[in-house]
Every structure is written in structure tokens, then in C-alpha cells.
Amino acid sequence: MATKNIAGIPVEVNEEGYMSDPSQWSREIAVELAKEENIELTEKHFEILEFIRKEYESGVQLTIRKVGKSGIVDIKGLYELFPGGPLKKSSKIAGIPKPASCV
């Protein structure tokens, strides 16, 4: 594990840059992580991130299909918000571990 300074906060991350402790997550950290992915967060992004965090905390196995059925955004919209790996990028920005369904 490595320590990375994100939004002025020392955060433990794994070798892929995913946060080791999801409880350290904040909107400020999300904004900084999104910048690394060339994504400018909107309220729609935050709705998805909060949904993903809630599902993760509930122990639900995350999939693109599950997020697409959230009622927040469809699968096409998820790809538009988080291009080039929507579940992988959204999970990273949400401060949770990479889902098992992501390679």
C-alpha cells in the first residue's frame, strides 16, 4: 500500500490507485480522483457515486447492469459520464475497491 495526498488528505491506496479505506472518501477527494481520469464531476456524477457507495456498503455485488437499473442513469448514460470503463472509474472515484466484475 502507498500513501497518496488527495485534496490535502493522506490516503492509503493500492497499486491501482483505489482507496484502501472507503471511510476516508469525501466529495473533495472524489473531485481530485475524477480530475486524474479527466472527468469533471456534476451532480449526476455524484448521484451515481453515492448510489455505488450505498450498494457497496450494503454488500451488493456491483455490475454495470445494476447501476444502469438504478433509475439514476441508463447504461449508455453511465458510459457517457465515466467513459473508458464506467464501473471501474466510478468505483475508483467513489472510493471503493475495484469490483470483481472489472478486469
Residue 30, C-alpha cell as written in the block: 472524489
pTM for the complete prediction? 0.92
Annotated catalytic, 102? Answer: yes
The active-site residue out of 31, 41, 72, 102 is 102
- Residue-by-residue pLDDT tens, the chain, 103 positions: 789 999 899 999 998 899 999 999 999 999 999 999 999 999 999 999 999 999 999 998 888 999 989 999 999 999 999 998 899 999 999 999 987 666 6
pLDDT of residue 61: 86
The reported pLDDT for the residue numbered 99 is 78
State the CB neighbour count (10 A cutoff) for residue 8.
8
pLDDT at 81: 96
Given this model, what pLDDT does residue 103 score? Answer: 60
Give the helix ranges, DSSP H, for the chain: 27-36, 43-57, 64-68, 75-81, 86-93
